[in-house]
Amino acid sequence: MSTVEVPVLIVGGGGSGLAASVFLSGHGVDHLLVERRADTSRLPKAHYINQRTMEIFRQYGLADDVAERAAAPEQFGKVRWQTTLTGQGPLDGRVIHEMDGFGGGALRETYEAAGPVLPAKLPQLRLEPVLRRHAEERNPGGVRFGHELVSLTENAAGGADESITAEIRSMETGETTTVIARYVIAADAGRTVGPALGVRMEGLPALFDATTAYFSADLSQWWTEGSVITWFLNPYRRDLSSALIEMGPTWGKHCEEWGLHLPLAGIDRTDEAAVVGRIREVLGLPDLELTLHDVTSWSVEAVLAERYRHGRAFLVGDAAHRQPPAVGLGLNSGIQDAHNLAWKLAAVLSGRAGDGLLDTYEAERRPVGQYNLGWAMSAAANHQVIIDAAVGLGPHVPPERRTPAFFSYFSPTPVGAAQRARAAEIFATHRGECQALDVETGFAYEQGAVVPDGSRPPARSPLGDEYRPTTRPGHVLPHAWVEREGRRVSTHDLVGSGTGFVLITGADGAAWTGAAELAAEKLSVPVTAIRIGDGGEGAEYADADGDWQRLRETDGAGAVLVRPDQHVAWRATGAEADPAGALTEALALVLGHRAP
């Protein structure tokens, strides 16, 4: 049995674990990732990468590789409700309602104003290999698939000598390795580390069961492209209603692979012939040639870990929170968990911050996880309300009234027109799921590694569809385009993938440059001061479109301190009598060198 010592052990090689590896490498942190599977996901699973996650990928040089394989908003930015995929009857293949979503259509301008990169659609089946390749290239020999965690023991030696000892076993040879780590990131969906530490998950562990069939087929003759998901509300039989999702690798009419949320009542999911028959029945294509790859039955949960930190172990992704897939917050939240944690581990391991900084991971991310869980629950419930109220398909409607309800909906009469108009207003509430830009980007850390300035957060829209950027401490740095020597970059790009802080000031903020140097020297923390002005003398960057001046919420002599994860840590709305003292005090508070 060999022994390995590393600062950080990551358990789990899914999206969150691989992202954590990439982020730690960006911060120069040595680490080991172990994953019991021999390879990345063989199932598409989560498929929407929201704007905030794509911004994080951009920061770490991943966005271009992801976008190259992904569908862009113009290819998936609609949500559609339809009667059936095809058929010969008067109700077959009819579009019930369609709306823009996820940055597509009329939403594009709003999303482009919110960030330097747009959302993307790339199932985990295709995302995880991209993340794995980058993780392996940036940490050679430190990513081990086919290795499982056998045991985990906390060693309470006291102080910096405390560690965690893990026993890792090769799935191929059975050989075991002892890993001694300062910290552990649990990215294993709650399968191993959480149970070993006695983590309690709070909430509803079994809301309902769902089944998804993954298959390949040529649907180009019948498929209407451009939808992230198409809900089929069967006008004849409730048990044939379903949802169809493109899974690539080609996007649009010529998509090869599909995910179908499949009703299998009365059918054995292990009976391939029966499942294939049901797929054909749902799609209305009795002779469709298809290849069935897998059928998964899964339990939809709404649970949150009672704590995100357990000693020297930190829970990320599904190990910390599991919620309904509505709004696509699961994988995105997990990657954002890892983003929040990585720079803090780097700061502590380098000696630039005390261990107390790591407590802010839970203080910041658990409230976001709780909010996202509640939002996903609400959105999932509202989806059923839409079906019941908009089309008139509630459980109280007897089967014999189902088809007449659809005929009434599509009727070219004043009554039909009124029903469709009422339905459109009900369908519009779905923007809380498919246009939830504020939910995806507008979250803020009210407590943790931030210095509050007493200001109140901007009002959040009730349906989560109006994002209001702000430099208020705790929020994501607002995006604005700035220019230097003819090169156009986002304010987000000013924050690199390392461990340094960025201090953004204006044309009148020359005093902050010296303040940054003094604070950096005193606290041994990299701080880069950047002046953004109107292109005049003394400013490194020009405010390309005037957006930064509108968004900064400070005057030209003020300053905004940005953390390595692109969240605002502190701000001075105007000039300070002692800028070096004010900045040093703020950094000390953020890094946990003294209590607020």
Residues 66-121: pLDDT tens digits? 999 999 999 999 999 999 999 999 999 999 999 999 999 999 999 999 999 999 99
Write out pLDDT tens, residues 415-451. 999 999 999 999 999 999 999 999 999 999 999 999 9
CATH class of 450-590: alpha beta
Contact criterion met (CB below 8 Å) for 228 and 48: yes
For position 595, what pLDDT does the model report? Answer: 47
- Give the integer Cα–Cα distance in Å for 442 and 372: 12
Nearest to 328 by CA among 437, 415, 454, 418: 437
Phi, psi values for residue 127, rounded to 5°: -75, -45
- Give the integer Cα–Cα distance in Å for 369 and 375: 10
Instruction: Tell whether the model's pLDDT for residue 463 goes beyond 60.
Output: yes
Write out pLDDT tens, residues 192-245. 999 999 999 999 998 888 899 999 999 999 999 899 999 999 999 988 999 999
Q: Is 158 exposed, middle or buried (0-12, 13-18, 19+ CB in 10 A)?
A: exposed
For position 596, what pLDDT does the model report? Answer: 40
For position 375, what pLDDT does the model report? Answer: 96
Residue 270: pLDDT band with limits 50, 70, 90: confident
For position 577, what pLDDT does the model report? Answer: 94
For position 466, what pLDDT does the model report? Answer: 97
Residue 536: pLDDT band with limits 50, 70, 90: low
For position 267, what pLDDT does the model report? Answer: 84
Question: Per-domain residue ranges for the chain?
Answer: 2-67+120-200+304-375, 450-590
For position 496, what pLDDT does the model report? Answer: 87
Residue 390: pLDDT band with limits 50, 70, 90: confident
Instruction: Tell whether the model's pLDDT for residue 311 goes beyond 90.
Output: yes
Q: Is 469 exposed, middle or buried (0-12, 13-18, 19+ CB in 10 A)?
A: buried
Instruction: Tell whether the model's pLDDT for residue 18 goes beyond 50.
Output: yes
Predicted structure pTM score: 0.96
Write out pLDDT tens, residues 151-207. 999 887 665 668 999 999 999 999 999 999 999 999 999 999 999 999 999 999 988
Contact criterion met (CB below 8 Å) for 411 and 83: no
Mean per-residue pLDDT, 124-132: 97
For position 77, what pLDDT does the model report? Answer: 96
CB atoms within 10 A of CB 447: 12
Portion of the chain with pLDDT greater than 70, in percent = 98
Mean per-residue pLDDT, 396-408: 91
Phi, psi values for residue 452, rounded to 5°: -60, 145
Structural element, H or E, at residue 194: helix 193-197
For position 159, what pLDDT does the model report? Answer: 59
CA distances from 295 to 122, 250, 258, 275, 276 (A): 20, 22, 12, 8, 10
Contact criterion met (CB below 8 Å) for 116 and 479: yes
Of 136-140, 265-269, 280-284, 325-329, which has the strongest mean pLDDT? 136-140
CATH class of 2-67+120-200+304-375: alpha beta
For position 507, what pLDDT does the model report? Answer: 87
Q: What rounded mean pLDDT belongs to the chain? A: 94
For position 137, what pLDDT does the model report? Answer: 98
Cβ neighbours of residue 329 closer than 8 Å, sequence gap 6 or more = 50, 323, 372, 375, 376, 439, 440
Contact criterion met (CB below 8 Å) for 184 and 167: no
Residue 35, token pair as written in the block: 């994953």
Give the dihedral sign, CA 141/144/146/152: positive
Residue 411: pLDDT band with limits 50, 70, 90: very high
Instruction: Tell whether the model's pLDDT for residue 527 goes beyond 90.
Output: yes
For position 395, what pLDDT does the model report? Answer: 75
Instruction: Tell whether the model's pLDDT for residue 566 goes beyond 60.
Output: yes
Amino acid at 562: V
